[in-house]
Amino acid sequence: MPRRGRKLIVGMSEEKVKNVLVAGGLSAFVASAYVFTLKAVGGTDELQAAVETFEREEATRAHSAS
């Protein structure tokens, strides 16, 4: 007769519980990496700020030259 695993949670074998825990841990890691990346990328865009400053200076120079 084949050996059956212990039932830790009603209807779930020990192996399935381990798989669910691993899946939960991996999902938490992926979610935290995603949030970290969004926060890192979503900061102030230095290039965009530099372009806006340059455009303002050019507009000021063009206005003073006319």
- Say which residue, 43 or 50, is predicted with more confidence: 50
pLDDT of residue 2: 54
CB 20 within 8 A of CB 27: no
The per-residue b/e assignment along 2-21, b for 16 or more CB within 10 angstroms, e otherwise, is eeeeeeeeeeeeeeeeeeee
How high is the pLDDT of residue 64? 83
Query: Would you list the domain boundaries of the chain?
Result: 7-65
pTM: 0.52
Residue 4: predicted pLDDT: 61
Vertex 55 angle, CA 54 and 57, to 5°: 65
**CA-closest candidate to residue 6, choices 15, 17, 18, 14:** 14
What is the average per-residue pLDDT within 12-34?
94
What pLDDT does 18 receive? 92
pLDDT band of 41, cuts 50, 70, 90: confident
